[in-house]
């Protein structure tokens, strides 16, 4: 695990000659099978999927979002979305943890000091460290405007964090958390509303064994049960200023930039929709239903939904739209809704065969619903898109 001062000492070695890469075809069959088995076990137990995290660490996938100079493979947003989709096809909880790791890795790359990048990013690229975001909290709202978590300056120039975060993915599994805290009260003329976060908020990187940081995985979710989504509290948690990410009070602008990155949670939904479609094909072939035109046409309709969702997620990853941020929001909205429609249709197609607690389609149903609730929630996505109309 990380140590309290391990973001500042010692210098990390160069890993550019030891790159870990995925096979050109994506996940290998053994890794897919093991991730799928992990998903079934975690869905039954509701416990954090530690084995899936270990597989991600060993696979080299944790380094895809980072450039060669830090030991990564330099994948762009479209390639990252594809990697997340592939994992989601067999284990959506692992895909969510992977997505969050990529998101934090990129934010550090974009906004971290050179010293912070040298010390932290090789660990994230190697898979020694898993990163997580700790933004949400009870009462803050989906738009994170009413934070109760605070960070106050100390005489030595550092910070003390106090507060409690909720719905933190990888709680208790992550080695470093990107914590959002209120460092100052926003001024009345603090600028245009970005729709997500507010002025006076700042990001801090807090290692897992920093005194005062406590994860709690007692939360039992309906879906994404292996994602270790829980609570993270910070009480009298001392963090050096070197662990601050970005300028003081500038977190809202960093959050706004996340949308422009092209990385889309819609990739998780595409993976789930594809997995459900595969189940439908297997069922139809096993029962000899593909001889019926109505069944074939229903499968084509479902495949069209999946392809349309994949296309909009790929467009978000290419960042080729006039406003890439809005396209990323649209991609989450459309893909998450499409996944719910596809899974629901496959449930009906399976009939009583799928009405068994252990059938994978039931996990897909619960996991698909979860994506719409993840930040930015689908309702907030709509608000963020519509805010642009009044500017």
User: How does pLDDT run across 353-386, given as a tens digit for each residue?
Assistant: 999 999 999 999 999 999 999 989 999 999 999 9
Mean pLDDT computed over 49-77: 96
Q: In the chain, pLDDT over 90 holds for what percent of residues?
A: 81
Mean pLDDT across 318-339: 96
152 three-class SS: strand
CA–CA distance, 375 with 258 (Å, rounded to integer)? 12
**230 to each of 14, 149, 164, 319, how far by Cα in Å?**
35, 16, 11, 32
Q: Span 331-356, mean pLDDT? A: 97
Q: What is the mean pLDDT of residues 286-296?
A: 96
Residue 102 corresponds to which tokens in the numbers above?
A: 């990529």
CA distances from 224 to 11, 342, 362, 370 (A): 37, 18, 12, 7
If one compares 17 and 299, the residue with the highest pLDDT of the two is: 299
Determine the average pLDDT of the residues in 264-273.
98
**Alpha carbon distance 176, 205 (integer Å):** 7
Q: Reduced to 3 DSSP states, what percent helix, strand and coil does the chain have, rounded to the nearest 5?
A: 50, 15, 35
Helices H, strands E: what count in the chain? 11, 8
For residue 188, what pLDDT is reported? 56
Tokens matching residue 40: 């079934």
In 3D space, the residue among 113, 106, 117 whose CA is nearest the CA of residue 11 turns out to be 117
Give the span between the Cα atoms of 182 and 141, in whole angstroms.
14
Look over the chain and give the mean of its residue pLDDT values, rounded to a whole number: 91
Q: What is the mean pLDDT of residues 219-226?
A: 96
pLDDT, mean of residues 316-341: 97
How many beta carbons lie within 10 A of that of residue 296, not counting itself?
13
Q: Is the dihedral of CA 233, 235, 241, 243 positive or negative?
A: negative
pLDDT at 2 over 70: no
What pLDDT score does 8 carry? 46
Nearest Cα to Cα of residue 265 among 81, 62, 27, 76: 81
CA separation, residue 134 to residues 31, 70, 103, 233, 324 (Å): 28, 24, 12, 9, 25
Rounded to 5°, the CA angle 39-62-8 comes to 130
- pLDDT of 1 above 80: no
C-alpha closest to that of 125 among 79, 215, 65: 65
Nearest one of 311, 288, 310, 284 to 298, comparing CA atoms: 284
Q: Give the integer Cα–Cα distance in Å for 245 and 243.
A: 6
CB atoms within 10 A of CB 294: 8
pLDDT for res 191: 56
**Nearest Cα residue to 173 out of 216, 141, 204, 205:** 216
pTM to 2 decimals? Answer: 0.92
Q: Name the pLDDT band for 146 (thresholds 50, 70, 90).
A: confident
Tokens of 120: 């932290």
For residue 13, the SS3 value is coil
State residue 43's pLDDT score: 97
Sketch out the chain's domains with CATH numbers: 29-130 (1.10.540.10), 133-257 (2.40.110.10), 264-390 (1.20.140.10)
pLDDT at residue 285 greater than cutoff 90? yes
**Rounded (5°) CA angle 330-333-336:** 135
Across residues 140-164, what is the average pLDDT?
89
pLDDT 10s digits, 65-74: 999 999 999 9
| pLDDT of 234 over the 90 cut | yes
DSSP H stretches of helix in the chain: 29-45, 50-59, 77-88, 92-111, 114-126, 251-260, 266-286, 293-318, 324-350, 360-373, 378-387
Q: Specify whether the CB–CB gap between 163 and 233 falls below 8 A.
A: yes
Q: How large is the average pLDDT for residues 198-216? A: 95
**Band of pLDDT at residue 18, cut at 50, 70 and 90:** very low
Mean pLDDT, residues 81-110: 98
Least confident range of 18-27, 68-77, 78-87: 18-27
């Amino acid at each position: 695990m990380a140590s309290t001062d391990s973001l500042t000492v010692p210098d990390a070695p160069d890993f550019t000659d030891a790159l870990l890469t995925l096979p050109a075809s994506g996940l290998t069959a053994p890794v897919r099978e093991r991730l799928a088995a992990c998903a079934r076990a975690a869905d039954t137990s509701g416990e954090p999927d530690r084995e899936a995290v270990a597989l991600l660490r060993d696979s080299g996938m944790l380094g895809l979002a980072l450039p060669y100079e830090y030991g990564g493979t330099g994948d762009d947003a479209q390639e990252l979305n594809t990697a997340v989709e592939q994992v989601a096809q067999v284990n959506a909880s692992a895909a969510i943890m992977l997505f969050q790791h990529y998101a934090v890795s990129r934010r550090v790359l974009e906004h971290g000091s050179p010293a912070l990048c040298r010390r932290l990013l090789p660990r994230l690229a190697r898979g020694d460290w898993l990163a997580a975001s700790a933004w949400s909290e009870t009462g803050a709202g989906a738009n994170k405007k009413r934070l109760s978590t605070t960070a106050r300056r100390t005489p030595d120039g550092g910070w003390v964090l106090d507060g409690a975060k909720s719905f933190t993915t990888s709680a208790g599994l992550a080695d470093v958390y990107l914590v959002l805290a209120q460092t100052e009260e926003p001024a009345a003329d603090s600028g245009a509303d970005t729709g997500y976060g507010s002025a006076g908020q700042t990001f801090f990187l807090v290692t897992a064994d920093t005194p005062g940081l406590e994860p709690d995985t007692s939360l039992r979710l309906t879906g994404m049960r292996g994602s270790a989504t829980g609570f993270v509290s910070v009480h009298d948690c001392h963090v050096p200023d070197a662990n601050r990410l970005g300028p003081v009070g500038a977190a809202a602008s960093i959050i706004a930039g996340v949308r422009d990155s092209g990385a889309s949670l819609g990739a998780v939904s595409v993976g789930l929709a594809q997995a459900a479609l595969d189940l439908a094909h297997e069922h139809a072939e096993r029962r000899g239903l593909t001889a019926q035109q109505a069944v074939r046409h229903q499968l084509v309709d479902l495949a069209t939904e999946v392809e349309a969702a994949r296309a909009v997620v790929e467009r978000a990853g290419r960042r080729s739209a006039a406003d890439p941020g809005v396209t990323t929001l649209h991609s989450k909205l459309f893909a998450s809704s499409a996944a719910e429609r596809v899974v629901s249709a496959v449930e009906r197609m399976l009939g009583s065969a799928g009405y068994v607690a252990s059938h994978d389609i039931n996990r897909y149903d619960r996991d698909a619903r979860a994506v719409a609730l993840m930040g930015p929630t689908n309702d907030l996505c709509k608000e963020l898109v519509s805010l642009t109309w009044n500017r």
